[in-house]
Amino acid sequence: MSSESTITSVRDESELVHYPDVIFPAGNPDFRAGRNRCAKACREFNNTPDDADPEQRSQRCIVRPNRDRANDSSLAVTHDQTFANPTLKAKTPFVKPPIFIDYGVRLQVGGSTFINRNCMIMDTPVADIVIGEGCNIGANCCIIGVTHPVRLDERLERNSIGQPVTIGDNVWIGANVTILGGVTIGDGAVIGACSLVKTDVPPMSVAVGSPARIIRYQRDIKPAVPGASPTALTMKDALALANRLPSKEQNWLNSLVAPRPPVSATGVRRGDLAAPCQAGRRCAPRSNEDHLLNLDLLGGVETDSDLDLDGEDMTLPVGSRPFTSESRSTAHNLLRGLGLQERLLGGASGHDGRGNDISELLIQRRLQQAEHRQRQVLRERRRWRAEAIAIITVAVALLMAFFFAGVYLGASKISGAKPL
């Protein structure tokens, strides 16, 4: 894989030769040796820790394995450093392991491009795959520059077909996107998650779907209103941000018990920074989900200096409590309904915080669902019975009409016959 800092010369666009399909025998020893070299480089890079020193990461980065390693120190400009100093330009792509590449000899990636985890690039030694500067490639993306013949007799020859792929500058590719060979994605384009890109995408457009189609151009999108969304500039602000969607389980559980009063105009709204209510004003009660188990990997220990930027101790806003009978989270309610918590706690029962036993509420809810299903079945049976009676009635009426018509016509013929 090559980045801008390791490409000695770039040919002019007019000098580029484009072959849509190039046939090559991938099973030959030299091609197999190239794949083995790239597999070793990928394995070495994927085993590098995420928090490794930038210089060490640059030395292990898959950037022209045959280059002069003495220049690696000049390549160690990370994306984190560009955030702190915008005048710097990253020279080594920010790639989160694991990444899987077949050959890498004709793969060119801009130094300021970010590639998220589990990216798969099926490149070939006969066609270039180019990813421009400033691109963001989501997790689990797949760029396929190789294919095989459709006809069986041609496919039995066991040849592969290489196809070039070009991704322009500042392209955003969502997660789980598949890009097929022979595709060019223009500068500034956006590809929606889980899309299948089979044809070219014009610059500054938005394409989604399988196959991907253009749904709009960015010039038609209104710019975001300044201040419309909250901004968390520090980790402390981020942890203090109250931002959680309600669960469906909690919604129907609240419908069975006393409804919660609406949030007042001065209370905390979703998306605002959590703040205590003013004195003398009643705020909405805390949700049961505030007692969810704390899965923070820090485990309540003091944070390091990288997170404690203000020199103050940061405490997580979510209440951390062990799994006990007093836990009142939605996940625990589900466990109680399934009878799993009683097994874990030795028969202890929990409540929802308002004096109502959770198991009783779940039983009532299941009974209501069973009665609702039974009523639906009865309604369907009545409808089927009515339709069957209507069909039988129409059929009998038609048969009787045909019978009387036949009798009338037979009588008319008999009465109109001449005597011998």
Between CA 275 and CA 268 the distance in angstroms is 7
CB-based contact 169:204 (threshold 8 Å): no
Q: Which of 18, 79, 148, 372 is catalytic?
A: 148
For tokens 């400033």, what's the residue? 134
State in Å, rounded, how far the first CA of the chain is from the last one.
109
Report the distance separating Cα 237 and Cα 389, nearest Å: 68
Ramachandran region, residue 249 (left: φ > 0; alpha: ψ -120 to 50; beta: rest) = alpha
Please calculate the CA angle 7-9-14 and round it to the nearest 5 degrees. 125
Contact call for residues 213 and 234 (beta carbons, < 8 A): no
Indicate the angle between helix axes 248-256 and 358-415, nearest 10 degrees. 90
- 147 CB-contact burial (10 Å; exposed 0-12 / middle 13-18 / buried 19+): middle
Verify whether residue 79 is a known catalytic residue. no
As a whole number of angstroms, the longest Cα–Cα distance in the chain is 128
Q: 83: part of which helix (H) or strand (E)?
A: helix 79-84
Rg, the chain, Cα only: 34
**Residues classed as catalytic:** 148
